[in-house]
Amino acid sequence: MTGPLLVIFPHPDDEAYSSAGTIIQHQKNGHPVTYVCLTLGEMGRNMGSPIFTTREELPKNRKHELEAACAVMGISDLQMWGLRDKTVEFEDEAELAARFRALIDNVKPARVISFYPGYAVHPDHEATARAVVRALQEMDATVRPEFLGVAFDHRTETELGKPHVIIEVGDEYAAKREALLAHRSQTEALLRSIDNAENAHVMELLQRERFYHYPFS
Ligand SMILES: [Zn+2]
Protein backbone atom coordinates (compact mmCIF):
# COMPACT_ATOMS: atom_id res chain seq x y z
CA MET A 1 0.00 0.00 0.00
CA THR A 2 1.46 3.32 -1.01
CA GLY A 3 0.54 6.75 0.20
CA PRO A 4 -0.15 8.51 3.47
CA LEU A 5 -1.76 6.74 6.41
CA LEU A 6 -4.35 8.38 8.65
CA VAL A 7 -4.92 6.86 12.09
CA ILE A 8 -7.88 7.98 14.21
CA PHE A 9 -8.43 6.69 17.74
CA PRO A 10 -10.07 8.11 20.88
CA HIS A 11 -7.45 7.15 23.48
CA PRO A 12 -3.68 7.23 23.80
CA ASP A 13 -2.57 3.57 23.54
CA ASP A 14 -5.44 2.43 21.23
CA GLU A 15 -2.98 2.80 18.36
CA ALA A 16 -0.12 0.98 20.04
CA TYR A 17 -1.96 -2.28 20.64
CA SER A 18 -3.83 -2.45 17.37
CA SER A 19 -1.62 -0.94 14.74
CA ALA A 20 1.83 0.23 15.89
CA GLY A 21 3.54 -2.31 13.62
CA THR A 22 1.54 -1.20 10.59
CA ILE A 23 2.28 2.44 11.41
CA ILE A 24 6.00 1.71 11.68
CA GLN A 25 5.94 -0.18 8.36
CA HIS A 26 4.34 2.80 6.63
CA GLN A 27 7.04 5.11 7.99
CA LYS A 28 9.79 2.69 6.92
CA ASN A 29 8.36 2.70 3.42
CA GLY A 30 8.48 6.47 3.34
CA HIS A 31 4.76 7.13 3.71
CA PRO A 32 3.78 9.83 6.19
CA VAL A 33 1.48 8.97 9.06
CA THR A 34 -1.01 11.34 10.68
CA TYR A 35 -2.41 10.27 14.02
CA VAL A 36 -5.45 12.00 15.45
CA CYS A 37 -5.95 11.09 19.09
CA LEU A 38 -9.30 12.45 20.22
CA THR A 39 -8.85 12.48 24.02
CA LEU A 40 -6.04 12.16 26.52
CA GLY A 41 -7.65 9.18 28.20
CA GLU A 42 -7.80 11.27 31.35
CA MET A 43 -10.61 9.24 32.90
CA GLY A 44 -8.61 6.03 32.74
CA ARG A 45 -8.46 4.00 35.90
CA ASN A 46 -4.88 2.84 35.48
CA MET A 47 -2.42 5.03 37.33
CA GLY A 48 0.62 2.89 36.68
CA SER A 49 1.80 -0.38 38.14
CA PRO A 50 3.15 0.36 40.65
CA ILE A 51 1.06 3.53 40.82
CA PHE A 52 3.12 6.59 39.93
CA THR A 53 0.56 9.23 39.03
CA THR A 54 -2.63 10.81 40.33
CA ARG A 55 -6.03 11.64 38.88
CA GLU A 56 -4.90 15.28 38.56
CA GLU A 57 -1.61 14.44 36.90
CA LEU A 58 -2.91 11.69 34.64
CA PRO A 59 -3.79 13.82 31.59
CA LYS A 60 -0.32 15.40 31.59
CA ASN A 61 1.28 12.00 32.00
CA ARG A 62 -0.74 10.44 29.23
CA LYS A 63 0.04 13.34 26.91
CA HIS A 64 3.76 12.80 27.49
CA GLU A 65 3.35 9.07 27.06
CA LEU A 66 1.51 9.60 23.80
CA GLU A 67 4.22 11.91 22.50
CA ALA A 68 6.88 9.40 23.50
CA ALA A 69 5.02 6.55 21.78
CA CYS A 70 4.65 8.62 18.61
CA ALA A 71 8.37 9.39 18.68
CA VAL A 72 9.07 5.65 18.83
CA MET A 73 6.69 4.99 15.93
CA GLY A 74 8.17 7.91 13.98
CA ILE A 75 4.87 9.78 13.73
CA SER A 76 5.61 13.42 12.98
CA ASP A 77 2.01 14.57 12.60
CA LEU A 78 0.32 13.90 15.94
CA GLN A 79 -2.90 15.83 16.43
CA MET A 80 -4.50 15.91 19.86
CA TRP A 81 -8.05 17.11 19.46
CA GLY A 82 -8.70 17.58 23.16
CA LEU A 83 -12.12 15.97 23.43
CA ARG A 84 -13.04 14.78 26.89
CA ASP A 85 -12.38 11.14 27.65
CA LYS A 86 -15.54 8.99 28.05
CA THR A 87 -17.67 11.64 26.31
CA VAL A 88 -16.96 11.00 22.63
CA GLU A 89 -20.31 9.20 22.47
CA PHE A 90 -22.04 12.49 23.27
CA GLU A 91 -20.43 14.38 20.40
CA ASP A 92 -22.72 15.18 17.51
CA GLU A 93 -21.97 12.35 15.08
CA ALA A 94 -22.57 14.40 11.93
CA GLU A 95 -20.30 17.17 13.18
CA LEU A 96 -17.53 14.77 14.13
CA ALA A 97 -17.88 13.04 10.75
CA ALA A 98 -17.59 16.43 9.03
CA ARG A 99 -14.38 17.15 10.95
CA PHE A 100 -13.02 13.76 9.92
CA ARG A 101 -14.00 14.45 6.33
CA ALA A 102 -12.12 17.77 6.35
CA LEU A 103 -9.14 15.94 7.83
CA ILE A 104 -9.29 13.26 5.11
CA ASP A 105 -9.53 15.90 2.40
CA ASN A 106 -6.47 17.58 3.88
CA VAL A 107 -4.28 14.51 4.56
CA LYS A 108 -5.40 12.61 1.43
CA PRO A 109 -4.62 9.23 2.97
CA ALA A 110 -4.39 6.03 0.97
CA ARG A 111 -5.47 4.20 4.10
CA VAL A 112 -7.47 5.06 7.21
CA ILE A 113 -7.16 3.00 10.38
CA SER A 114 -9.75 3.31 13.14
CA PHE A 115 -12.18 1.12 15.06
CA TYR A 116 -14.82 -0.96 13.29
CA PRO A 117 -18.34 0.07 14.34
CA GLY A 118 -20.30 -2.48 16.33
CA TYR A 119 -17.22 -4.45 17.38
CA ALA A 120 -15.12 -1.91 19.23
CA VAL A 121 -16.47 -2.62 22.75
CA HIS A 122 -16.03 0.78 24.47
CA PRO A 123 -18.55 3.65 23.90
CA ASP A 124 -15.77 6.10 22.88
CA HIS A 125 -14.43 3.50 20.45
CA GLU A 126 -17.88 2.94 18.96
CA ALA A 127 -18.61 6.66 18.59
CA THR A 128 -15.27 7.20 16.87
CA ALA A 129 -15.87 4.24 14.57
CA ARG A 130 -19.35 5.42 13.59
CA ALA A 131 -18.17 8.93 12.72
CA VAL A 132 -15.15 7.69 10.75
CA VAL A 133 -17.28 5.26 8.75
CA ARG A 134 -19.88 7.97 8.18
CA ALA A 135 -17.22 10.35 6.83
CA LEU A 136 -15.91 7.65 4.49
CA GLN A 137 -19.40 6.53 3.49
CA GLU A 138 -20.18 10.01 2.26
CA MET A 139 -17.17 9.97 -0.08
CA ASP A 140 -17.30 8.93 -3.69
CA ALA A 141 -16.14 5.30 -3.92
CA THR A 142 -13.54 6.24 -6.53
CA VAL A 143 -11.68 8.51 -4.11
CA ARG A 144 -12.43 6.77 -0.82
CA PRO A 145 -9.28 5.58 0.97
CA GLU A 146 -8.98 1.97 2.08
CA PHE A 147 -10.50 1.58 5.55
CA LEU A 148 -8.87 -0.82 7.98
CA GLY A 149 -11.17 -1.35 10.95
CA VAL A 150 -10.00 -2.70 14.28
CA ALA A 151 -12.56 -5.08 15.78
CA PHE A 152 -12.04 -6.93 19.01
CA ASP A 153 -15.47 -7.71 20.43
CA HIS A 154 -15.73 -11.43 21.22
CA ARG A 155 -18.42 -11.72 18.50
CA THR A 156 -16.04 -10.48 15.83
CA GLU A 157 -14.90 -13.71 14.20
CA THR A 158 -18.33 -15.38 14.46
CA GLU A 159 -20.06 -12.48 12.78
CA LEU A 160 -17.45 -10.85 10.55
CA GLY A 161 -15.36 -13.93 9.84
CA LYS A 162 -11.59 -14.02 9.69
CA PRO A 163 -9.80 -10.67 9.44
CA HIS A 164 -9.78 -9.33 5.90
CA VAL A 165 -6.28 -7.96 6.25
CA ILE A 166 -3.55 -9.41 8.44
CA ILE A 167 -0.32 -7.47 8.58
CA GLU A 168 2.68 -9.39 9.86
CA VAL A 169 4.67 -7.08 12.10
CA GLY A 170 7.16 -9.49 13.66
CA ASP A 171 10.04 -7.39 12.32
CA GLU A 172 8.53 -4.32 13.93
CA TYR A 173 7.69 -6.02 17.21
CA ALA A 174 10.64 -4.65 19.20
CA ALA A 175 9.66 -1.10 18.24
CA LYS A 176 5.99 -1.86 18.83
CA ARG A 177 6.80 -3.12 22.29
CA GLU A 178 8.73 0.08 22.95
CA ALA A 179 5.72 2.14 21.80
CA LEU A 180 3.46 0.12 24.09
CA LEU A 181 5.87 0.60 26.93
CA ALA A 182 5.87 4.36 26.33
CA HIS A 183 2.21 4.32 27.45
CA ARG A 184 3.62 3.32 30.78
CA SER A 185 0.68 4.21 33.04
CA GLN A 186 -1.54 1.88 31.01
CA THR A 187 0.65 -0.92 29.79
CA GLU A 188 3.35 -1.75 32.28
CA ALA A 189 1.37 -4.40 34.13
CA LEU A 190 0.17 -5.99 30.92
CA LEU A 191 3.61 -6.13 29.35
CA ARG A 192 5.04 -7.65 32.49
CA SER A 193 2.43 -10.40 32.41
CA ILE A 194 3.13 -11.06 28.73
CA ASP A 195 6.85 -11.28 29.36
CA ASN A 196 6.46 -13.47 32.40
CA ALA A 197 3.90 -15.84 31.00
CA GLU A 198 5.33 -15.79 27.48
CA ASN A 199 1.71 -15.68 26.54
CA ALA A 200 1.73 -17.15 23.04
CA HIS A 201 -1.80 -16.05 22.20
CA VAL A 202 -1.18 -12.42 23.13
CA MET A 203 2.16 -12.42 21.33
CA GLU A 204 0.41 -13.74 18.22
CA LEU A 205 -2.18 -10.95 18.46
CA LEU A 206 0.49 -8.30 18.90
CA GLN A 207 2.64 -9.55 16.01
CA ARG A 208 -0.13 -10.07 13.48
CA GLU A 209 -2.25 -6.94 13.26
CA ARG A 210 -5.72 -7.73 12.02
CA PHE A 211 -8.22 -5.50 10.33
CA TYR A 212 -11.62 -5.61 8.66
CA HIS A 213 -12.84 -3.78 5.60
CA TYR A 214 -16.23 -2.12 5.92
CA PRO A 215 -18.99 -2.86 3.41
CA PHE A 216 -19.60 0.70 2.22
CA SER A 217 -22.68 0.95 0.06
ZN1 LIG B 1 -9.39 3.05 23.91
Domain that holds residue 86: 5-211
> 28 CA to middle of ligand 1, Å?
26
- Domain assignment of residue 216, yes or no: no
> 123 CA to middle of ligand 1, Å?
9
H runs (alpha helix) in 138-172: 156-160
- Domain assignment of residue 182, yes or no: yes
How far is residue 174 from each of residues 41, 42, 203, measured CA to CA in Å? 25, 27, 12
- Domain assignment of residue 138, yes or no: yes
How does pLDDT run along the chain (217 residues), one tens digit per residue?
679 999 999 999 999 999 999 999 999 999 999 999 999 987 876 777 777 777 778 888 999 999 999 999 999 899 999 999 889 999 999 999 999 999 999 999 999 999 999 999 999 999 999 999 999 999 999 999 999 999 999 999 999 999 999 999 999 999 999 999 999 888 877 777 666 656 777 788 889 999 999 999 8
How far is residue 89 from each of residues 15, 30, 126, 210, measured CA to CA in Å? 19, 35, 8, 25
Number of folded domains that form the chain = 1
> 142 CA to middle of ligand 1, Å?
31
> 144 CA to middle of ligand 1, Å?
25
> 143 CA to middle of ligand 1, Å?
29
Q: Which residues, at least 6 apart from 168, have a Cβ–Cβ distance to it below 8 Å?
A: 207, 208
- Domain assignment of residue 140, yes or no: yes
- Domain assignment of residue 66, yes or no: yes
- Domain assignment of residue 135, yes or no: yes
> 216 CA to middle of ligand 1, Å?
24
Q: What is the pLDDT of residue 198?
A: 62
- Domain assignment of residue 70, yes or no: yes
Residues 37, 78: contact at Cβ < 8 Å? yes
- Domain assignment of residue 217, yes or no: no
Angle made by CA atoms 50, 43, 94, in degrees to the nearest 5: 145
> 103 CA to middle of ligand 1, Å?
21
Q: What is the pLDDT of residue 200?
A: 75
Q: What is the pLDDT of residue 1?
A: 60
H runs (alpha helix) in the chain: 14-28, 58-73, 93-107, 123-137, 156-160, 173-182, 184-197, 200-207
Q: What CATH number does residue 187 fall under?
A: 3.40.50.10320
d(CA 10, CA 150) in angstroms, rounded, equals 13
